[in-house]
Amino acid sequence: MARILLIILLVLVVVLALTGVGMWGYNQFRPITVSVNGAEQRVSANTSLGKLAADHDDFGAKPGKLLSVSGKVLKRDGGGPVRYTLNGKGIGDADAAKDAGAAGSAKSATTSNKGSAAYGTNAPIDLNKVKLPENAKITVKDGKNLTEQHDVRRTMVPFGVSVNGHGVIQKLVQRGKQGVKEVWIGKISGEQVDKGVVKEPKNVIVDTFSPKPVTHKVVALTFDDGPSQYSGPILDILKEKGVKATFFDVGNGAAAWPQFEQRMVAEGHQVASHSYSHPDMFKLNPDQLRDNITQGLANIKAASGVTTKMLRAPYGNFGPNQWLQTSDLIDYNVIWTVDTEDWKKPGAPAIANAALSKAYNGAVILMHDGGGDRSEDIAALPGIIDGLKGQGYEFVTIDQLMAMNGK
Ligand SMILES: [Zn+2]
């Protein structure tokens, strides 16, 4: 009896085992449907993408070519492999899709570029390990043409400048940026190919204008060449009269009289730069020009904590060439429209008369609080403020004046 039971048990085990093997076998070899470039194919379920590709000779698709830098064919099948996608996902040519474009700095230099040919280093996914699911959607395309490895010789393309319009304020609207030219030198072919300008330069663009306030009459009082011992009495008068002004300060003066620089800021005036040492900027070479502006701005920052990018060039001498050299340093160059000619020392009444007779809405009035004996300015200032107030003017800084343009 026990023996019969044992036999039945063994038979059951064998039947179950055979059934399992049979189902496994069926799963491995049952036919499934896949589509290649839209055409249906019947394959057995264990078929890999690699086998399918080999059986159909890549469905007529070819590897890409390896090209020289001038575009000559170096190796007919030396480019990227035939490209497969499975259910929308790329397979096997991830490395080959890299572009030939060389990134990097625009300094004049030669750099090595691997090109787009991941030549000999490409390790695509093994298509034989890619199983095909039921209803797989496969696409096949030719491989990409790749360019040989090459050195890239870069040279800079200088930018230009355009200063447009007329008026008292020059405002930078675009900084200059160098462009880049490239020559590619093929490592296999030895060819040199001029790729021309691969990055266009950006010109310096400066707009010139005169603010036109429309709601009420304003003037901007400006003082140049300070700070100096004359700045204190001028600040006293402005404070007493409740008037804000703009000081275009010389860097070495700011270093010598930081207490006045700080007082100007504390009392609500605008401080801006009048260079470091008051040179004629038309006569400076590019390095001297940049140094003088940089040091002037730095001294104002050191004395007062104010970061300004506004310049009034000494004598107003600042043209396209100066903008070309310094567009990364300053945003504004501000001149003046009413010259009191105080520098001629004509006497306080003449200075006051010049300001009062020449003022108009939006005028930028030039006076001085340094660079010589400014006692005539001190004597003239109360009358100038009172007289202009009597004519209905309000006093604004240059920043305020610009903000009122058309308002
Ligand atoms: Zn000056």
Complete DSSP assignment for 82-140: PEEEETTEEES-TGGG---PPPS--SSEEEEE--S--TTT-----GGG-BPPTT-EEEE
Which pLDDT belongs to residue 122? 47
Is the pLDDT reported for residue 92 higher than 70? Answer: no
Ligand 1 geometric centre to CA of 275 (Å): 9
Average pLDDT score over residue span 154-169: 97
Q: Give per-residue pLDDT as tens, 58-68.
A: 999 999 999 99
Catalytic residue chosen out of the listed positions 269, 368, 369, 377:
368
Reported as a single tens digit per residue, the pLDDT across 249-287 is: 999 999 999 999 999 999 999 999 999 999 999 999 999
Pair of tokens at residue 186: 């093929």
Interval 234-238 mean pLDDT: 98
Buried b vs exposed e over 112-137: b needs ≥16 C-beta within 10 Å?
ebbbbbbbeebebeebeebebeeebe
Distance 377 CA to ligand 1 centre (A): 14
Which residue carries 């480019």 as its tokens?
79
Task: Specify the pLDDT at position 119.
Answer: 39
pLDDT of residue 395: 98
- Tell me the three state secondary structure of residue 381: helix
317 CA to centre of ligand 1 in angstroms: 10
Q: Which pLDDT value is given to residue 19?
A: 74
- H helical segments located in 267-394: 286-304, 320-326, 348-358, 375-390
Task: Tell me the C-alpha distance between 134 and 175, whole Å.
Answer: 59
Cα separation, 351 vs 367, in Å, equals 9
Determine contact, residues 226/249, Cβ cutoff 8 Å: yes
Residue type, 267: E
Whether residue 376 is predicted with pLDDT greater than 70 in this model: the reply is yes
Give me the mean pLDDT over the 331-344 stretch.
Answer: 98
The amino acid sitting at 158 is: P
- What is the mean predicted confidence (pLDDT) over 44-70? 93
Active site residue 368: yes
Least confident of 28-32, 140-144, 249-253, 396-400: 28-32
Q: Is 64 helix (H, G, I), strand (E, B) or coil?
A: coil
Mean pLDDT of 18-28: 72
**Are the CB atoms for 36 and 54 separated by under 8 Å?**
no
Q: What is the pLDDT of residue 16?
A: 78
Choose, from 58, 224, 225, 377, the residue flagged as catalytic: 224
Q: What is the pLDDT of residue 100?
A: 37
The answer to whether residue 97 scores a pLDDT higher than 80 is no
Strand partners, 162: 205
Largest separation between any pair of C-alpha atoms in the chain: 141
DSSP state letters, 174-235: E--B-EEEEEEEETTT--EEEEEEEE--B-EEEEEE-----SS-EEEEEEES--STTHHHHH
User: Mean of the pLDDT values across residues 378-392?
Assistant: 98
pLDDT at 323: 98
Residues 183-204: pLDDT tens digits?
Answer: 999 999 999 999 999 999 999 9
- Does 153 have pLDDT greater than 90? yes
Closest to 108 in 3D by CA, of 167, 180, 6, 172? 180
Q: Which two tokens stand for residue 188?
A: 């296999």
From the CA of 280, how far away is ligand 1's center (Å)?
10
Give the span between the Cα atoms of 80 and 19, in whole angstroms: 46
- 278, 314 contact by CB (below 8 A): yes
Which architecture characterizes domain 32-147 according to CATH? Answer: Roll (3.10)
Determine whether 224 is an active site residue. Answer: yes
Residue 366 CA, ligand 1 centroid: distance in Å:
10
227 cis-preceded (ω within 30 degrees of 0): yes
Question: Ligand 1 centroid to 278 CA: how many Å?
Answer: 6
**208/161 Cα distance (integer angstroms):** 13
- pLDDT class of 124 with cuts at 50, 70, 90: low
Annotated domain spans of the chain: 32-147, 210-403
For residues 147 and 151, give the distance between their C-alpha atoms in angstroms, rounded to a whole number: 12
Local structure of residue 317 (DSSP, 8 states)? -
Q: Identical fold at 32-147 and 210-403?
A: no
CA distance 357 to 354: 5
Band the pLDDT of 105: cuts 50, 70, 90: very low
Q: Give the pLDDT mean for 8-24.
A: 76
Q: Which CATH class is domain 210-403?
A: alpha beta
